[in-house]
């Protein structure tokens, strides 16, 4: 039973009973509807339960990036990669964030690492090519 079904049931969980995965999934749903502050709060809840939940670190970073909080986003992507070094999306978004922060060479390295993990990641390839053309 998914989170929304559980919340609708008579045995709806309290906030303390939700898992890190459920908090993270709720945050993702909120972020997709543009409710970024609420999404960030959900990711914070997930991380309070399990500070090694790489998807929550990744999604929190993506949300912070949308909010223009790039240094914090960078730190979240770094945390996600510290937990799961093969998280291609975290590596890709870390590269985007580094580029925004003016660290182009490090950004290219992140895109290259993302491509090693997932050679089909056309977004990482496009981002890398764009930075190389602008040099």
Q: What is the mean pLDDT of residues 74-97?
A: 97
**Domain 17-84: which CATH number of 3.40.630.10, 1.25.40.10, 1.10.3470.10, 3.40.50.12780:** 1.25.40.10
Structure confidence by residue, pLDDT tens digits, 116-130:
999 999 999 999 999
Structure confidence by residue, pLDDT tens digits, 18-59:
999 999 999 999 999 999 999 999 999 999 999 999 999 999
The three-state DSSP-derived secondary structure of 80-132 is HHHHCCCCHHHHHHHHHHHHHCCCHHHHHHHHHHHHHHCCCCHHHHHHHHHHH
In the chain, which segments carry CATH 1.25.40.10?
A: 17-84
pLDDT score recorded for residue 79: 98
The pTM assigned to this predicted structure is 0.85
pLDDT over 90 (residue 90): yes
């Amino acid at each position: 039973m998914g989170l929304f079904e559980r919340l609708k049931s008579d045995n709806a969980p309290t906030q303390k009973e939700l898992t890190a995965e459920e908090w993270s999934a709720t945050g993702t749903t909120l972020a997709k509807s543009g409710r970024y502050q609420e999404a960030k709060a959900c990711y914070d809840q997930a991380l309070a339960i399990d500070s090694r939940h790489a998807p929550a670190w990744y999604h929190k970073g993506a949300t912070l990036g949308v909010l223009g909080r790039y240094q914090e986003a960078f730190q979240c992507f770094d945390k996600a990669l510290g937990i799961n070094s093969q998280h291609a999306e975290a590596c890709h978004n870390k590269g985007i964030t580094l580029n925004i922060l003016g660290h182009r060479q490090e950004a290219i390295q992140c895109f290259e690492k993302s491509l090693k993990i997932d050679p089909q990641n056309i977004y990482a390839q496009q981002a890398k090519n764009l930075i190389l053309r602008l040099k």
